[in-house]
Structure 1
Amino acid sequence: MTDAVRNESEAVAEMAKHWPLVRALMGGTSAMRAAAKNFLPKWPNEEQKSYDARLAVSTLYPAFSQTVRVLSGKPFSKPLQLGDNVPEPIKGFAQNIDLEGRNLHAFAGDLMVDILSVGISGILIDFPPAEGVRTRAQELEAGLRPYWKRYPAGAVLGWKTRRTNGVITLAQIRLLENEAEDAGEFGEREFEQVRVLEPGRWRTYRKVRTANGQEEWQLHNEGLTTLNAVPFVFCYGQRTGFGTSAPPLLELAHQNVEHWQSKSDQQNILHVARVPILALVGAEGEVDITVGASSAVKLPKDADLKFVEHSGAAIEAGRNDLKDIEQRMLQTGAELLVRKEGAAVTATQISSEGEGNKCALQRMAEDLEDAIDQALQFTAEWIGQPEGGHATLHKDFGADSLGEASASLLLELQAAGIISKKRVILEQQRRGVLSADIVADDELEDAGQDGPALGAITDPAPAGA
């Protein structure tokens, strides 16, 4: 049955359990609201209207998404370097590695976001159809060249492996693709396609409607390749096996959902507490009351009229709870930057870089380097070159302690607009980096009188500009 070609394997289904959570967090407030009860439970006996109102005003503190973006940017704070052993044609390809205008540096940056968020991604090294082309000279004349295509989590449906010369390699992989075709003069119709790759062979399957009105997946096209391998490379966040991985920041994701729920409660109690209730004590029967600046109220003897307000104790408890969660999230994200003694490394990693004392993010960057090197090798094989060469990412960003790592992350989150400058001062005092005698408000006022920060001064515009 060809319908099975669209099914997810058990390994993919197991990984996919975490993806709705991290994708909703990466999508921000709108995505979390769309997920509704999945991450913001409805209270017992809560009316749907009340729940909908609570959901509509809930906003996400974007700790997970911003931590992913900050951490994923560290290996790319300096340009990706291609070694001297990378063939010149491939260096040219790297300026537009996906034939969509993205260079290798930007392409690899997207892979790092994938592996830090959902934990897995992949690269297909493909070659355009070359009908009638028989020689390398004809390929060059036709402008044909290999290119890379990124397959994020969910686009890989399943795979089979084999052992070649003692090494596990892909014997088959199934990839889900979204294709489009013209629908009228100005429209397009999108549809799914499954690509099946095997060494030296490829097939595509599409869903069609049969004569009896049923839809089924059928073979659409097929062909041969010149490679005796499947040119696909997995990129891992927290590898658990061949082709499988876990989100390295999964605990931060759960903490961010906890903050989302607690913040929703806090917003709800603030709404209730900000509206005082007028209470009439000691009056029997109905009393006409008009409340206003120019109104007076006549009460029966021994009656009392007053506003009843929230004591604020629960509000302060909720505020402290949010602060505690935010502190834990900051530390959880910063843990990827703390160097670990005796960290495991791959055989291809360079010993002179002190591989025994690296942080988790540095090891992920090295694993991504390995994946890029494999992709470069497949690219070389497509064009008949013996070697693809080596790529190098920036990895000098590890911290010696959690305090140092979280302090660095604090500054980057402030620069991204997630937390305030005052919050940075208070958190640095908590860590003992700044003196406890400093008054945050006074320090910010003094800083404002110092003029622009170094490096922030720009040349004045020329006259007449």
Structure 2
Amino acid sequence: MSETTEQYWVLRPGSCEVYEIGEGGGLGTVELVQSFELRSPSGKLMDKIPAIFYPVSTLNPFELLPPLHDLALSNITHYQEWSDYREVRYKCNVPVPVLKGLLDAPDRLVIGPNTVVTLPPDGDFFYREPSGKAIEATRQAIIDIEKQMLQRSLAFFGGNSHMTATEAELRSAQTVSELTQMARDKESAVKGIINCWTQWTSEEPNGGIKVNTNLIKSPISSDTARMFTDLVVGGIMPTDMYWDIMSSAGIIPKNVELPSAGD
């Protein structure tokens, strides 16, 4: 049977120490078992710790839950509720045949337009169906879950007539802000990884990635564009800044040559 040894690696610029946790002495003992320098293959001492912190969430950097985790859980709940809804509808939509007063029921009862059911004088034959009270409650639960999922996602870009334009814009801005920050964190993490690698290989750190954030940018409304135009006309906003905003928002095509400040 293999044994597991608990170790802790302590990284410092240019060095690394490995400690083991023993079992003696109450809470255990800490013993230094290995110490070595961090050098590149060329022998250069690394002046940085070769570790990059890449938080999944900037609000709670030490939580490892993926983005939109709550939306994924809501999606599972929605699937379960919808499955129950279909099951209860199926059972409530099928009437159950009932024989009243028939004591000696045959082993096999044939029901149909071409068969006859013999009943005693006080007997009766009818169909009984459930009241189906759970159907409406389950249906309302599904609607409530979909409303919560709508608030946590970009679904408001669809046809939701119950949401005002201001509410949709505020929710859009919050989601876009989170996605933009995630893109920046990824660019920063990859840049740090390349810096560590090039220091190890003694190369120049001239690589990286660029996440295209134009896909998640919120479009500028006509009122906002008109406000920027008024600022330029009033001499409050520089013309170059105005053209940059209009171009980055996609209102002006990238291939259009913008005028300079002196034009």
TM-score by length of 2: 0.54
Contact 1:266 1:319 in 2 (8 A): yes
Local SS of the residue matching 1:306: strand
User: Which position in structure 1 is the counterpart of 2:211?
Assistant: 393
Unaligned regions of 5+ residues in structure 1, if any? 8-157, 174-195, 203-222, 341-356, 402-465
Matches within 5 A, 1:270-281: 270-281=89-100
Aligned counterparts of 1:225 and 1:329: Cα–Cα separation in 2: 55
Local SS of the residue matching 1:391: coil
Contact 1:338 1:400 in 2 (8 A): no
Which amino acid in structure 1 is aligned with residue 195 of structure 2? Q
Go from structure 1 to structure 2 and tell me whether the alpha carbon gap of 1:226 and 1:245 turns closer, same or farther (over 3 Å shift): farther
* 1:308 CA displacement: 1.3
User: Which position in structure 1 is the counterpart of 2:110?
Assistant: 290
Matches within 5 A, 1:204-219: none
Matches within 5 A, 1:30-69: none
The reply to whether residue 365 of structure 1 matches residue 203 of structure 2 is no
Query: Higher Cα Rg: structure 1 or 2?
Result: 2
Go from structure 1 to structure 2 and tell me whether the alpha carbon gap of 1:389 and 1:293 turns closer, same or farther (over 3 Å shift): same
Aligned counterparts of 2:127 and 2:195: Cα–Cα separation in 1: 76
Aligned counterparts of 1:358 and 1:321: Cα–Cα separation in 2: 29
Contact 2:151 2:171 in 1 (8 A): no
Aligned counterparts of 1:395 and 1:363: Cα–Cα separation in 2: 10
Unaligned regions of 5+ residues in structure 2, if any? 19-33, 156-169, 221-263
User: Which position in structure 2 is the counterpart of 1:437?
Assistant: none
Go from structure 1 to structure 2 and tell me whether the alpha carbon gap of 1:160 and 1:296 turns closer, same or farther (over 3 Å shift): farther
Select the residue among 165, 172, 178 that pairs with 1:338. Answer: 172
User: Which position in structure 2 is the counterpart of 1:3?
Assistant: 4
Aligned counterparts of 2:70 and 2:189: Cα–Cα separation in 1: 26
Give per-residue Cα distances to partners, 1:186-217, cap 9 Å, x unaligned: xxxxxxxxxx9986279xxxxxxxxxxxxxxx
User: Which position in structure 2 is the counterpart of 1:269?
Assistant: 88
* 1:365 CA displacement: 0.4
User: Which position in structure 1 is the counterpart of 2:137?
Assistant: 317
* 1:244 CA displacement: 5.0
Go from structure 1 to structure 2 and tell me whether the alpha carbon gap of 1:290 and 1:326 turns closer, same or farther (over 3 Å shift): same
Aligned counterparts of 1:400 and 1:200: Cα–Cα separation in 2: 49
Contact 1:376 1:389 in 2 (8 A): yes
* 1:170 CA displacement: 10
Aligned counterparts of 2:3 and 2:189: Cα–Cα separation in 1: 31
Contact 1:280 1:304 in 2 (8 A): yes
Task: Count the aligned residue pairs.
Answer: 185
Aligned-residue Cα RMSD (Å) equals: 4.3
User: Which position in structure 1 is the counterpart of 2:228?
Assistant: none
User: Which position in structure 1 is the counterpart of 2:127?
Assistant: 307
Aligned counterparts of 2:195 and 2:116: Cα–Cα separation in 1: 87
Higher strand proportion (structure 1 or 2): 1
Local SS of the residue matching 1:248: coil
Aligned counterparts of 2:207 and 2:86: Cα–Cα separation in 1: 55
Matches within 5 A, 1:67-146: none
Go from structure 1 to structure 2 and tell me whether the alpha carbon gap of 1:286 and 1:391 turns closer, same or farther (over 3 Å shift): same
Give per-residue Cα distances to partners, 1:288-339, cap 9 Å, x unaligned: 4431342111222242211112344422432332233123223212399732
Give per-residue Cα distances to partners, 1:357-397, cap 9 Å, x unaligned: 96101100000000011122123223322433443211121
Aligned counterparts of 1:199 and 1:338: Cα–Cα separation in 2: 49
The reply to whether residue 238 of structure 1 matches residue 95 of structure 2 is no
Aligned counterparts of 1:302 and 1:390: Cα–Cα separation in 2: 88
